[in-house]
Structure 1
Amino acid sequence: METEKTSEELVRGQAEIWQHMFSFADSMVLKCAVELRIADIIHSHDSAPITLSQIASCIGSPSPDIPYLTRIMRLLVRKNIFTVHHPSDGGESLYGLTHVSKWLLHGSDLSLAPMIVMENHPWTVAPWHCFSTCVKEGGTSAFEKAHGRNVWDFASQNPEFNNMFNDGMACTARIITRAIMTGYKGGFGCIESLVDVGGGTGTVVAEIVKSHPHIKATNFDLPHVIATAPLIDGVCHVGGDMFKEIPSADAVFMKGATNKAVTKDLIANKSTK
């Protein structure tokens, strides 16, 4: 009996290892859906379910591989990213959107598509392969092990990565800003000037100023990030290094600040001009 139990546990353990081994497939298929704009294609048909043939005809390829697309959609349906309906009359299956796939729409205020592309790009995935090297050698981050420089230096010398990274950060900033503006409606009333430290291309501070136009806002980030920031009414873009000095203001805004010591120092205005 004990032997049977041990055998079952071993088989269960093996199954779990296989699941972990191929868990990366979920994110890769998700990236594929974003790159092929499958959610956008279905959405363009008034969000009504459409056939695989209709999807294939809109992905921008003269000869799409239908069997391959079928397997991709099968996994996406299994993960509840899309729905599928098989007509009883034997007609083509119909694929539709879910509350999940709506986050894959390009151009939507609530879209995670740019972040999915960024997080699953070979440049961003490469550091994950360096964990064992980091443990053995230490000294630098996994990103530096993979690319020979930190993420900020890499972005400053690689415009494609810089734009992809900024787009990914901007899409999550929109989502966070909406939550902030909903739950902190009266919090900005007494502020006349605000500096967003590490504000990227200005997505967050732009929304704040739109709702509170009396605020004189500064978007502060590294020079190579600010170089790609669009003109925003009521916002001044300033490039620099937050660890050296930041523009002065009534309030400092930091989205996703995790270093308590740095945050405390900035709030105390010890590093401001």
Structure 2
Amino acid sequence: MRVLVHAGCFAKQEDDAYALAPWSRLLVSSEHTAAAPFVVGMLHPLIVQSWHSLGAWFHGRAPTPFAAAHGKGIFETAREQPGFVAVFNEAMASDSRLVGQVLVKKHAGVFEGARSMVDVGGCTGTLAAIVAEAFPHLKCTVLDLPHVVAAAAAAGTPNNLDFVGGNMFDHIPSADIMLLKSRTKAATVLCSRR
């Protein structure tokens, strides 16, 4: 425990008692901005196996470490394994909740004067919903593949949030703000199409 206190994971209190430090509070799953589902997702055996395949990826021709480990991409695997897709989607939603809270609290000025925002590859709309609730004047749109937004749109969302099925390489709806949280696979595809 002393090492974890020194590293900032926990705070030492009197009489050998310990308390959560700010970043370890993120791992408490009862918190709205908990990162615990993200950690669980990143420690899923399919993901961990990808990390163990970095050498094969560097020396091979697979487009990603995940493909080097499994012979196909993460999204193809997710379609075949519903248990994995549930863990993966919750991990991404967990990350989006944390990023969304920081975005609307610390960077609200980004949205000043804007009337519309599109979240490209926004999956279930977690991040866009946080922005839509914080800025009711902003018309928010989530663009993702049709089968992704079909399930997400049914979950109930703020009135100023819409879902559009499509491919970002074909068309992105016009908006004042484009949110592209992290699309490493997409960047790889975009570079290979040039």
Same fold (TM over 0.5): yes
> 1:109 corresponds to which residue?
32
Percent pairwise identity: 35
Contact 1:156–1:224 under 8 Å retained in 2: no
CA separation of 1:239 and 1:147: change in aligned 2, threshold 3 A: farther
Q: Which AA in structure 1 matches 2:173?
A: P
| Unpaired stretches in structure 1, ≥5 consecutive residues | 1-72, 88-92, 263-273
Shift of 1:231: 1.6
1:161 aligns with 2:161: no
Q: Give structure 1 regions of 4+ aligned residues with deviation exceeding 6 angstroms.
A: none
Shift of 1:127: 1.0
Contact 1:196–1:252 under 8 Å retained in 2: yes
TM-score, scaled to structure 2: 0.78
Higher RCO (C-alpha under 8 Å, 6+ residues apart):
2
C-alpha distance in structure 1 between counterparts of 2:33 and 2:57, whole Å: 36
C-alpha distance in structure 2 between counterparts of 1:85 and 1:192, whole Å: 49
Contact 1:209–1:215 under 8 Å retained in 2: yes
> 1:220 corresponds to which residue?
143
Shift of 1:205: 1.2
C-alpha distance in structure 2 between counterparts of 1:154 and 1:118, whole Å: 14
1:146 aligns with 2:69: yes
Shift of 1:260: 11
> 1:235 corresponds to which residue?
161
1:129 to 37, 46, 52: 52
Higher Rg of the two aligned structures: 1
C-alpha distance in structure 2 between counterparts of 1:86 and 1:250, whole Å: 53
> 1:53 corresponds to which residue?
none
TM-score, scaled to structure 1: 0.58
Farther off after superposition, 78-87 or 208-217: 78-87
CA separation of 1:138 and 1:260: change in aligned 2, threshold 3 A: closer
| 1:16-31 map, 5 Å | none
1:81 to 2, 6, 9: 9
Contact 2:62–2:68 under 8 Å retained in 1: no
C-alpha distance in structure 2 between counterparts of 1:214 and 1:86, whole Å: 49
1:253 to 167, 179, 182: 179
| 1:40-55 map, 5 Å | none
Q: Which AA in structure 1 matches 2:9?
A: I
Q: Which AA in structure 2 matches 1:244?
A: D
Contact 1:221–1:238 under 8 Å retained in 2: yes
> 1:185 corresponds to which residue?
108
| Unpaired stretches in structure 2, ≥5 consecutive residues | none
C-alpha distance in structure 2 between counterparts of 1:241 and 1:200, whole Å: 12
